[in-house]
Amino acid sequence: MIASISGKVIQLTKETVVIDINGLGIEIFIPKPMLAEIETGDLLHLYTYMLVREDNISLYGFSSLEEKDFFLQFLSVGGIGPKLSLSILSSLSIDNIRSAILSEKPDYFSRVPGIGKKTAQKIIIQMQGKLPESEGLAIRAITDSDDAVVDALISLGYSVVEAQTALQSIPKDTPDDVETKLRVALQYFDHF
């Protein structure tokens, strides 16, 4: 089993990174946000999971052990394979995943392409009490106004990932009304 890999990035595709290890190119599937941050020539260290099937051997890479743990937890949910598990990690941040599970908000998962309402419910039910250990971070519960802000940002043309990131940027002491939170969330995009 390959537990981790370190090496130089020699190629990037839409879904994978190829890392050179002493002349051997290893192709690894990684979450899209990580893919957007790296460039050819970068040195990269990934925690990996090797999936062996009758017709395929695939390697999946993650920037942290916590991200890898979530990937494995999603694989344990019926109806979720490695591609869909990676899609969840590409669409939602670890904090948003943890908040959605703790707040029992399956609609956050149903926003991920390929996940319907039933599968989203299964994720919530099966992952309750099984969340990978966090590093002492306080997790903010998702409120109805948070849902409304994310929906509003998506309707304005932002992706699910962008909307979730903007929501996370809202200070905890912001009043819990949709208009105020939406205004603060939109200010997040002004910084780019």
| CA dist list (Å): 165 to 26, 60, 161, 168 | 31, 24, 6, 5
Of residues 190 and 136, the one with the higher pLDDT is 190
User: Which domains does the chain possess?
Assistant: 4-62 (2.40.50.140), 65-127 (1.10.150.20), 144-190 (1.10.8)
Q: For 61-105, what is each residue's pLDDT tens digit?
A: 999 999 999 999 999 888 899 999 999 999 888 888 888 888 888
Amino acid 78: pLDDT: 85
For 124, the token pair is 């919530």
What number is the average pLDDT over the span 2-21?
94
Q: How far apart, in whole angstroms, are the C-alpha atoms of residue 173 and residue 135?
A: 22
Phi, psi (deg, nearest 5) at residue 156: -80, -5
Amino acid 136: pLDDT: 43
Amino acid 137: pLDDT: 45
Q: What is the average pLDDT value for the chain, to the nearest integer?
A: 86
Confidence of residue 4 (pLDDT cuts 50, 70, 90): very high
Amino acid 31: pLDDT: 94
What's this model's pTM, rounded to 2 decimal places? 0.72
